[in-house]
Structure 1
Amino acid sequence: MSSSYVIYLNSLSQTISTYGSLALFVLGIFGNFVNIILFTFHRQLNKLPTTTFLVVSFLASQVNLCIVSIPQLLSRFAGSDPLTKYPILCKLRWFFGPVTAIVGLHGFCLAIINQYLLTSKHIRYRQLITRNRSYFICLTVIFYALVFLTPNLFYFTHWINSSNKTICDIINPIAANYNVYIGLVVYCFIPILTLSIFSLLMWLNVRRILVRQHEMEQTMTRLLIGQIIMVLLTTVAFVIHRMYFLYTKNLSKSSLQLAEENVISAVAVLFITSTHWMSFYVYVFTSKTFRHNLSDIIFRQQGQIRPAVAKTRTPAHKT
């Protein structure tokens, strides 16, 4: 294979990474901002305990997009990576980046757990998580993420690689392995198991019509179903991507193989990071009620969300 093809693939991976990241950054900032405003200030949505978990998830995802994307975009467009210039930025990016990613994903998992409880036939389950308890649970999740990622503050640093370039990475092999595996466990395996189990239980409750939900709770359940599917897909993709590069990093590869992997990795990373920006667009795509509510706020400035179902509770409903 000619070297020109390898150069083309490397250029393609750079283009995908640069302009794809820019597009997703803009979409993500806008989508998370609208979600935060809608779920925080709308007087029907903000009464639900599930909303607390979702707003925390949106806020964490918004911060994550800024922490992760801005240094990358500056490096691509300005030709200078701030993480390789300032050690403190190197440490903070690899501390708060994973922390906000974990909080964002776990906040969504807590929303699913709460929706499962709200669909239960047992009254004590439906009353288990109050607004005050939801605040305490969110603070606990933030604290637990900070504790798990504290080693990154100490072990991420500058060092010179084989190409004589300064990079931001972990030198200590034990700390490097800890960072990889704690990420797989806390960011992937726990959310995958949580979402799989509680989304199935929630779906069974809804199918059996064990309890008549409040209209807004029905709307919330429907909004979350599409997001569950997308989060599971992106999280599983993260596991596959991380495991592949973990177990092939020491293998000898040709320049063509490396170039092909770069293209695949660029596409995979864009898909994986959609975990933290796509919720708004999933809601818009899957829920007619959400689109109407959004339209009312933007164009009509009405203070009431349209009900998810008619008050007569007809058998079939459209979303």
Structure 2
Amino acid sequence: LTRVMITGFSIDWTTTSLFYCKFRLYFVNICAQTSSTCLCLAIIDQYFATSAHPRWQQWSNIKIAHRLVTLFIIIWVLCDIPFLVFYNQIYSTTTNKATCVSTSTIFTQYRIYFNTPVLGGFLPVCIASVFAIMAYLNVQRIAFRTVPLVRRELDKQLTSIVLIQIPCTIIATVPYVIINILTSNQNLMTNPVIWAQIQFASSMSLLLLYAGSCSLFYVCIFVSERFRRQLMFVLTKIVCHRWTEPNEVAPVQIAIEA
């Protein structure tokens, strides 16, 4: 919503509200890092679930998953507190307008060169890729184990979803990380043509980043036949039935007094 208001209507709430200036990036980073962490945890869980060793299979547990997700949410909430501390509104004497920027050079360098590219980009992609490949190798060895047919097919579908989701995540994340580093180069701002091209590339990378958030839904539709059947059932049997439910007329008996 904030991006739509800024780019579409030139209304920047971060320049009018100090709380929103501090809270916006803080909340965005928590959500982004929690999302990438959950993706990594889901792929690691798939690796444990397809493992041939019972000791590793015990780690594929819903209680452990809930505890890990809660733990990482707390970690990101605490780690992103510097966004609340160092982001402030700076008033320009030339434009008489306020801008929401970081007042700490060290924290700015940390955000540009470590927080966004490493914690939000390459590290979760590398972890997810490694465990996705290992889960795929586990699925390849399922044929040599006594596993029920239904469980075998479900593991294959989930692993296929994971393997396709990884390239989608890379395509959605890496361009934004690269453009984010380029926009921090002050020398590029001296050339208006190059700077305009970078701004255009930045807008496109943001679109890819936003599209990556919903890519898992389309990957599930493309890969999983069971998911497609469930989706069609929900759309045709539940949603459509609710809107096309016929009116029921019940007879009412009225006593007529003599």
What SS does the aligned partner of 1:167 have?
Answer: strand
Deviation at 1:197, TM superposition (A): 0.8
Residues 84, 168 of structure 1: 8 Å contact kept? yes
2:103 paired residue among 151, 168, 171 = 171
For residues 187-235 of structure 1, the C-alpha deviation after alignment (integer angstroms, 9 at most, x for no partner) is 1232022012111111111223265361544433333222122112222
| Structure 2 segments unaligned to the other structure (5+ residues) | 240-258
For the residue of structure 2 that corresponds to 1:121, the secondary structure is coil
Change in Cα spacing, 1:238 to 1:264, as seen in structure 2 (3 Å) is closer
1:42-57 correspondence runs (5 A): none
Q: Where does residue 269 of structure 1 map in the other structure?
A: 206
- After superposition, residues 60-209 of structure 1 pair within 5 angstroms as 70-160=1-91, 164=95, 165-180=97-112, 181-209=114-142
| 2:162 matched residue in structure 1 | 224
Q: Which has the larger radius of gyration?
A: 2
Tell me how large the CA RMSD over aligned residues is.
2.2
Provide the residue aligned with 2:180 in structure 1.
Answer: 242
Alignment partner of 1:294 is 2:236: no
Find the residue that maps to 2:78 and give its secondary structure: helix
> Relative to structure 1, is the Cα distance of residues 161 and 175 closer, same or farther in structure 2, using a 3 angstrom cutoff?
farther
TM-score scaled by length of structure 1: 0.67
| Distance in 1, Cα, partners of 2:38 & 2:127 | 12
Give TM-score, length-normalised by structure 2. Answer: 0.81
Q: Count residues in correspondence.
A: 232
Residues 219-263 of structure 1, C-alpha deviations (whole Å, 9 max, x = no match): 3333322212211222222332223333x3334532211122222
- Counterpart for residue 191 of structure 2: 254
SS of residue in 1 equivalent to 2:183: helix
Q: What is the match of residue 311 of structure 1?
A: none
Distance (whole Å) between structure 2 residues aligned to residue 297 and residue 163 of structure 1 = 57
- What fraction of aligned residue pairs are identical, expressed as a percent? 25
Equivalent residues of 1:195, 1:232 under 8 A apart: no
Q: 1:284 to 1:265 in 2, by over 3 A?
A: same
Are 1:103 and 1:141, in contact at CA under 8 Å, matched by a contact in 2?
A: yes
